[in-house]
Amino acid sequence: MQLAANPHDRTGVRRKDEQWLDARWADPRSRVLLVSGTRIRPAEGKLEWLSTADAPDGVRVLLGEQDGTTYFAVVVDPAQAPGEKAEWFGLRGILPHLAGDGVADAPLVFHAIGLAEWLYATRFCPRCGGSLEPRAAGHELVCTSCGKTQFPRTDPAVIMVVTSGEPGSEDERCLLGRQSVWPEGRYSTLAGFCEPGETLEDAVRREVAEEVGVRVGRVDYFGNQPWPLPAA
């Protein structure tokens, strides 16, 4: 839950307000995260937030506001990104840079990478195959041929702890799983993505049955958080 503990105001009502967006972009206090395709380049072990004056051209994405500062991301083609390709990391590689003081930036980074992943994967209109143009500060894609609007995809998932025995007793046990390719001693709780029309509780039961062949009874809901790794 810690990685979602410092959420920003996404300022959704301003995404189509071009005058407000231009004013915030002109504000020297605003900050920009540069994304190369779906990758980020840390500087000296930390995430680098640029001024808008130093940001290159690209798809401008409004992330929102936090503590009086407006945050953007600019998504550029990897061929146009500065530096060497090896200097840029995907979200899994950037997670160590979100530890310690960097954890405050985590919701902003997850927002930026999630949209960058969607922009990368959604190249053409699924209805007619036409080209797409970004709108609403990077949160919508509109087909230039048929006018169909595409919105960012969200993939709901469940992660669960399966237990047996009296809670808190010596007989209580926890069911863990592992992949054969993992190093010795590594185990994990079970998890999986929800299917269309499926409740979270039913997804828990199905995924546990599929992965370990165990039938689950009562499912207690604990909480939720954003899954930062799109469709992965």
Q: What is the pLDDT of residues 110-122, one digit of tens each?
A: 999 999 999 999 9
d(CA 91, CA 229): 7
Sorting pLDDT into bands at 50, 70 and 90, what band is 2?
low
d(CA 136, CA 131): 17
Domain boundaries, the chain: 2-121, 123-153, 157-212
Query: pLDDT by residue (tens digit) across 17-26?
Result: 999 999 999 9
Please enumerate, as own/partner, the contacts of 125-129 that have beta carbons within 8 Å and a separation of 24 or more: 125/150, 126/150
Query: pLDDT by residue (tens digit) across 28-64?
Result: 999 999 999 999 998 887 889 999 999 999 999 999 9
CB 107 within 8 A of CB 3: yes
Dihedrals phi, psi of 3, to nearest 5 degrees: -70, -10
Helix locations, the chain, DSSP H = 18-26, 91-94, 106-121, 200-212
Query: pLDDT by residue (tens digit) across 167-204?
Result: 888 889 999 999 999 999 999 999 999 999 999 999 99
d(CA 86, CA 93): 11
How far, CA to CA in Å, does 163 sit from each of 179, 185, 187, 195?
20, 20, 15, 24
- Burial degree of 106 (CB within 10 A; 0-12, 13-18, 19+): buried
**Is the pLDDT at 228 greater than 90, yes or no?**
no
**Is the pLDDT at 1 greater than 60, yes or no?**
no
Q: Are strands 190-193 and 69-76 parallel, antiparallel or unpaired?
A: unpaired
CATH architecture of structural domain 2-121: Alpha-Beta Complex (3.90)
DSSP state of 38: T
